[in-house]
Structure 1
Amino acid sequence: MAISIGIARKDREAVARHLSRLLADTYSLYLKTHSFHWNVTGPQFNSLHTMFETQYNELWLAADEVAERIRTLDVFAPGSYSQFAKLSAIKEEAGVPEWKAMVGQLVEGHEIAAATARDTLKAANAAGDDGTADMVTGRLKEHEKTAWMLRSLLK
């Protein structure tokens, strides 16, 4: 059955391309945050270990929400590491930095994801896609808030 949600196919595909980048940023940030949760050490261990767990759980749920929105638009969602690596602007961390560098990388990652969300919001608004705009506004606010909270640890 053909999709008929009031958004032209070319517009749905354009929005889905932006959402795919947001999904890649979200998943990359999830992986990095989970790794840092496992590997953090230092005087802030307990608080960072707990904070990172809260953050990676939120990102895991967000990735599903973004992927399902792509599918709602009748486009297939990317789902491999190689696809995410091509789509995401978040740099992979192959080592185990000290805790301050971990926090700094996560601030940077959330700021990148916020910028991607902002671009996605523009595309959704241009397409008249209120459903995506609503979801992405929430993601944007979450990334900005998390970046602020993490940044506060470094002052």
Structure 2
Amino acid sequence: MKTNIGISDENRQAIADALAKILADEYVLYTKTRNAHWNVEGPDFYDKHKFFEGQYEQLATIVDSVAERIRTLGHYAPATLKEFLELTHLTEREQNDNSAQGFIKELLQDHETICIHLREVITPFAETYQDLGTSDFVTGLLEEHEKTAWFLRAHLK
């Protein structure tokens, strides 16, 4: 059945395409955060192990909500690792050691990259594509990433 929610087919497609990139970023970041949780080493292992666990759990919820937003718009969400790697703005793991500081620096950079990309789409969602719902949704994601970036930054002081 055709999706009829007051947004043109063309606009829904453009929004779904942009959300697919956001989904890819979120999934890659989720995977990198799981990696940090599993592989962190050092004297603060337990604290950072738990810290990263809380972050990947939050990202798992975000991943699900972005995919469901795409489905709400009447499109299918990308769901393969290949698709995610083709769509993401992020890179796979860059740092070579398993220290908490190394993981935190890389994850901070990723959260900040996502913040920049989310800011770029908030206004077009609302103004160009006439989708205040997705604009508001992405604003909420931005707030989550800004807060997590703050937490990560605080660990580096």
TM-score computed with the length of structure 1 as normaliser: 0.94
Distance 2:49 2:91 in 1: 21
What is the aligned partner in structure 2 of residue 23 from structure 1? Answer: 23
- In structure 1, what is the Cα distance between the partners aligned to 2:76 and 2:120? 20
The one of 126, 137, 140 equivalent to 2:139 is 137
- CA distance in structure 2 between the partners assigned to 1:16 and 1:62 by the alignment: 16
Gaps of 5+ in 2: none
Aligned AA (1:134): D
Alignment match, 1:74: 74
Cα offset, 1:97, TM superposition: 3.3
> Per the alignment, do residues 96 and 31 of structure 1 end up closer, same or farther by CA in structure 2, a change over 3 Å counting?
farther
1 CA distance for matches of 2:133 and 2:102? 36
Give the count of matched residue pairs: 155
Alignment pair present for 1:44 and 2:36: no
**Residue 96 of structure 1: how far off its partner (Å):** 4.7
Provide, for residues 66-114 of structure 1, a one-character-per-residue CA deviation record: whole Å limited to 9, x for no partner: 0010111111111111110011111111755322110001001111111
Contact 1:24 1:87 in 2 (8 A): yes
Percentage of pairs with the same residue: 43
Query: Aligned partners of 1:83, 1:11: CA distance in 2, in Å?
Result: 22
Q: Deviations over 1:105-142 (max 9, x none)?
A: 10011111112222231231121212111211110000
TM normalised by structure 2 equals 0.93
The root-mean-square deviation of aligned C-alpha atoms, in Å, is 1.3
Displaced runs of 4 or more, over 2 A? 94-98
